[in-house]
Amino acid sequence: MFKLSSLVADPNATWTSVGRKMIDFLRSPYVPGDPQRLKRTLIRLVFGRVLLVTAFLAASTWSLFNSAQPAGSMNVIFGVLAATYALSVANVIWVHYTSNLVAVAYGQGLTDVLLASGVIYATGGTGSPFVVLYLLIIAGSAMVVSSHGAVVIAAACGIGYAVISSGALPSLGHNETSVSAPELFGLYFSLVGIAVLSSYLARQIEAARVMARTHADSLTELSHHQQQLFDDLSEGIITLDRDTKVSSINRAGMSILGLSKNKAEQMLHKHFPTTMSSLGVEGFGEMLKQQLNRTTPSEVCIKTDNQGGELCISYHVRPLVNSAGEERGMIMLFNDISHLKSIEQRLSLAEQMTKLLVEEPEPSDEIRSRLGSVRMIGESPVMKQVMALVERVAASDASVLITGESGTGKELIAKAIHVGGDRASGQFVAINCGAIPENLIESELFGHKKGSFTGAHADKPGLFRQANGGTIFLDEVGELPLHLQTKLLRVLQEKVIRPVGDVHDYQVDVRVISATNRDLKSEIAGDRFREDLYYRLNVVNIVVPPLRERKEDIPLLVRYFIGKFADPNKVLPQVSPEAIERLTRYGFPGNIRELENIIERTLVLGGQAILPEHLPDEVKNETTVSSLNGHGNSRGAAAVEEIDLPIDLENILSALEQEYLLKALEESGGVKKQAAELLGLNFRSFRYRLKKYGLNEQSDEETTA
């Protein structure tokens, strides 16, 4: 293919290059295309032949009826028409049953030449207006056979026309135009030239079609991969156009918002702020604009269909731009934080309830001193709230229900409550209700009399009497059988127990602290747990967050476990920043217990330095990135390429934290609340860090100045 502009600019070079291309084209071998596609093309050409010949001959017949033409022409017309139909039927059958489609294409082309010559002969000979049929046949042949084949068909057309113009055929009485030899040769070479050019153009069109199909397939594949990536992301994503109408929503977004596929499709092309307004969030369009390109996420709670419940999400907004950098809309990335909100609200409510049970407004120094003997490690806001609640509840004698996943340290919190209370001088007795066989747990809890059952060789007081004056901790209380739940309820209400096989009741003075990783409300709904017992145990509820929701505490816990397992007579092992980073990215399904086991393992493998290769495979291969603020927005971490060990990791982390605190204060002009937002911290946590490093007074002086 060449451009007209190139002809004007450099005619010689253009025609030379075109001539070279044409020669290369004529020399190139014929490569058959897709057989099925070639078969379909041949059948279409057959039907095209039938339609064209029928139309031309019908027009000629109408013309003959209205003129004084001899009957011989009419006979030839009907003969050609009959031959066309017969040959077309034979042609279709041949295409259907043969595998040599190239031979069919040649045969079909020569047949078309014969039929077209018959039409031309019947409708005026050399004066017929249907000589143009030859051009259509040549163009059709160029589509299905090689350039050489098209030239052969063109030559056949020239021969047919030469026979018609030679006078060798009987005259049908037409006013035929005489054709000289030069004109005949000129027509012949014109047909051959048209054949070559048509073949060349057909080849170029086919190449363009193949290229377009390849590009279309590539775009389809790329679009499929993008959609798969879009749907596989764990973060909810909603894309909006310029008018803030919903363009798309991924699978995670549908799951977070609780949308079925049909409801998600109904959201498409609807004004998103209007949709949010129907869910109880007014002015969301302005909120989107304000959040655009902000580094810290915003939070919003929307109404759900779950009996007036709420769904709280944390979201970022980014602009969508095209390749030219023009803004075409925006993308909203969001995560469900309802669980975190629920924990904070429940802890806050529990703390308020506990204040009513305690005579003193604040825990005494004595209580805090005793609590210091139980190491509860954590500086995250949610853990500080848990610790404050433990301090308050320790001073009372109320029953406490500790809930949380396995391995979160529920027993440690129970010990802290015991140590911090007035019963610290009594015993702390812990029992795992799920680890004792059902036929023995009643005897373990309440005791038994000698001979009351097989194997009862002596009296046994039971754990409740053993814990008299102290605290009993019922771990996994949701595992208790229903008949024992009734007995436990009696103990809580009447402060008496009756051992198995005994006829006497015994007074006990025991504080009951229980724990479970089950949803006891669901157990109540399934008639597996007594509702009245639940409310007796759950006077104060302490929700212990999983480790993945308090990742700020991981470095502190790592340091504690290193001190616990390392040889005290040697220098404490150092942890590389890469190893800390891998640990903070990991989800910890086993919570603190799993972290403890990991640190013990790495100390065995790593010696005096803990590196990423010493960590378990599931930690090394973790791909879920979580930032310090818990919203998956990691920023500002510098990559360390070379580390010379040993190092003082504690000082390095402290210096780095102070640097970020000062930078945030500088950026906010000394406004602490704004600085806390820049770091993704709540104000209480930010203020604690300032106080920790003695930066509080410095920032106040700078603000005053």
Encoding tokens for residue 565? Answer: 């397992």
Residue 630 pLDDT level (bands cut at 50, 70, 90):
very low
Residues 6+ apart with CB under 8 A from 330: 239, 240, 244, 288, 292, 317, 318, 319, 320
Residue with the bigger pLDDT between 16 and 316: it is: 316
Query: What are the tens digits of pLDDT across the range 131-144?
Result: 777 777 777 777 77
| β-strand pairing of 400-403 with 540-543 | parallel
Question: Rounded to whole angstroms, what are the CA distances from 36 to 29, 101, 212, 270?
Answer: 21, 10, 19, 45
Residue 559 pLDDT level (bands cut at 50, 70, 90):
confident
Q: What pLDDT is stored for residue 23 in this prediction?
A: 57
User: What does the mean pLDDT of the chain come to?
Assistant: 76
Query: What are the tens digits of pLDDT across the range 400-458?
Result: 999 988 888 888 899 988 888 888 888 999 998 888 887 788 888 888 888 777 777 78
Q: Where are the domains of the chain?
A: 17-210, 233-336, 342-545, 548-620
> What's the CA gap between 286 and 273, in Å, rounded?
9
Q: What pLDDT is stored for residue 511 in this prediction?
A: 92
Q: What pLDDT is stored for residue 179 in this prediction?
A: 65
Q: What pLDDT is stored for residue 633 in this prediction?
A: 41
Q: Of 1-10, 93-102, 270-279, 309-318, which gets the smallest average pLDDT?
A: 1-10
Q: Where are the alpha helices (DSSP H) in 395-432?
A: 410-420
Query: What are the tens digits of pLDDT across the range 306-335?
Result: 545 678 888 888 888 887 778 888 888 888
Q: What CATH fold (topology level) applies to the domain 342-545?
A: Rossmann fold (3.40.50)
Task: Over range 630-649, report the average pLDDT.
Answer: 50
Q: What CATH fold (topology level) applies to the domain 548-620?
A: Helicase, Ruva Protein; domain 3 (1.10.8)
Question: For tokens 């397939």, what's the residue?
Answer: 217
pLDDT at 668 over 70: yes
Query: What are the tens digits of pLDDT across the range 34-55?
Result: 666 666 766 776 676 677 667 7
Asked if residues 149 and 103 have their Cβ atoms less than 8 Å apart, the reply is no
CATH architecture of 233-336: 2-Layer Sandwich (3.30)
Q: Of 197-206, 445-454, 547-556, 620-629, which gets the smallest average pLDDT?
A: 620-629
Residue 118 pLDDT level (bands cut at 50, 70, 90):
confident
Q: What is the largest CA-CA distance in the chain?
A: 138
| Selection from 275, 230, 276 nearest residue 251 by Cα | 230
Residue 590 pLDDT level (bands cut at 50, 70, 90):
confident
| β-strand pairing of 609-610 with 574-575 | parallel
pLDDT at 629 over 60: no
> What's the CA gap between 547 and 555, in Å, rounded?
12
Asked if residues 288 and 332 have their Cβ atoms less than 8 Å apart, the reply is yes
Task: Over range 174-197, report the average pLDDT.
Answer: 69
Encoding tokens for residue 165? Answer: 């113009």
3-state helix, strand, coil in the chain (%, to 5): 60, 10, 30
Under DSSP, is residue 242 helix (H, G, I), strand (E, B) or coil? coil
> What's the CA gap between 465 and 510, in Å, rounded?
8
Q: What pLDDT is stored for residue 361 in this prediction?
A: 43
Residue with the bigger pLDDT between 435 and 174: it is: 435
Q: What pLDDT is stored for residue 516 in this prediction?
A: 92
Task: Please report the sign of the dihedral spanned by the C-alpha atoms of residue 294, residue 315, residue 224, residue 243.
Answer: negative
pLDDT at 379 over 60: yes
| Selection from 634, 705, 699, 704 nearest residue 661 by Cα | 699
Return the axis-axis angle of helices 438-446 and 482-494, rounded to nearest 10°.
10
Encoding tokens for residue 201? Answer: 């153009």
Under DSSP, is residue 219 helix (H, G, I), strand (E, B) or coil? helix
pLDDT at 623 over 60: no
Asked if residues 515 and 469 have their Cβ atoms less than 8 Å apart, the reply is no
On the question of a common fold for 233-336 and 342-545, the answer reads no
Question: For tokens 């330095």, what's the residue?
Answer: 609
Residue 275 pLDDT level (bands cut at 50, 70, 90):
confident
Asked if residues 101 and 32 have their Cβ atoms less than 8 Å apart, the reply is yes
